[in-house]
């Protein structure tokens, strides 16, 4: 029987923090882009590097990754094509307290990359807890169709800020009206 993972769903502010990606292939490239979007400072260590890494603001070290390369990293991605190397790197990263993603076997790490949908500052992350990234991606695609456009999000943000400046009971009435507008727009029963 498949064991379901119990994971902490959280959004972390790791902007400016160091990250190491071990591996230079397509999976490492995708993970690197995700880390860069979150503002991390990424070092990629691999003997061979996908050409697109040259377009990214990363430090590249052209050699096999060693546990010493992970020192000080807050996030480590083990995405080499060698499962034994990935395992050694994950163990080393966990010993130093880093969040670690094992790209070949998510259950071996402490960090998973969910499917993420973003629009106008709104982020929705989907993880299946069953190692089914294709399902998470499909759910993310479906969620995209439900998200309001940016002008609507901006309007709701302004309404909330205005409501919070009100004194009671006007504040609660304005917040309730906003809740109802959001739920109606999204097709959620009140």
pLDDT in tens, 116-141: 999 888 899 998 876 778 898 999 99
Cα(158)–Cα(54) distance, rounded to whole angstroms? Answer: 41
pLDDT in tens, 68-87: 999 999 999 999 999 999 99
Same CATH fold assignment for domains 18-113 and 114-147: no
pLDDT, position 130: 66
Written as six digits, the tokens of 20 are 């190491």
Eight-state DSSP code of residue 47: S
- Helix %, strand %, coil % of the chain (to 5): 45, 15, 40
Count CB neighbours of 51 within 10 A.
8
Whole-structure pTM value = 0.85
Which residue(s) pair with 125 in the sheet? 116
Cα(7)–Cα(84) distance, rounded to whole angstroms? Answer: 25
Eight-state DSSP code of residue 84: H
What stretches in the chain show pLDDT beneath 50? 1
Give the domain ranges of the chain. 18-113, 114-147, 150-186
CATH topology for the 114-147 domain: Double Stranded RNA Binding Domain (3.30.160)
Q: What is the sign, positive or negative, of the torsion defined by CA atoms of 27, 54, 38, 162?
A: negative
CATH topology for the 18-113 domain: Rossmann fold (3.40.50)
Q: What is the sign, positive or negative, of the torsion defined by CA atoms of 90, 30, 33, 157?
A: negative
pLDDT, position 189: 87
């Amino acid at each position: 029987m498949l064991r379901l993972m119990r994971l902490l769903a959280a959004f972390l502010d790791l902007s400016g923090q160091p990250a190491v990606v071990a591996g230079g292939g397509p999976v490492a490239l995708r993970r690197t882009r995700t880390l860069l979007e979150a503002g991390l400072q990424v070092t990629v260590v691999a003997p061979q590097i996908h050409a697109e890494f040259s377009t990214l603001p990363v430090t590249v070290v052209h050699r096999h990754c060693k546990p010493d390369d992970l020192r000080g990293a807050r996030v480590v991605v083990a995405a080499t094509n060698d499962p034994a190397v990935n395992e050694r790197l994950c163990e080393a990263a966990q010993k130093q307290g880093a969040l670690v993603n094992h790209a070949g076997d998510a259950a071996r790490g402490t960090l998973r990359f969910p499917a993420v949908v973003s629009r106008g500052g709104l982020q929705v992350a989907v993880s299946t807890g069953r190692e089914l990234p294709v399902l998470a991606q499909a759910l993310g695609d479906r969620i995209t169709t439900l998200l309001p456009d940016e002008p609507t999000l901006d309007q709701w943000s302004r309404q909330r800020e205005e409501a919070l400046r009100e004194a009671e009971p006007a504040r609660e009435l304005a917040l309730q009206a906003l809740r109802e507008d959001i739920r109606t727009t999204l097709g959620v029963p009140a």
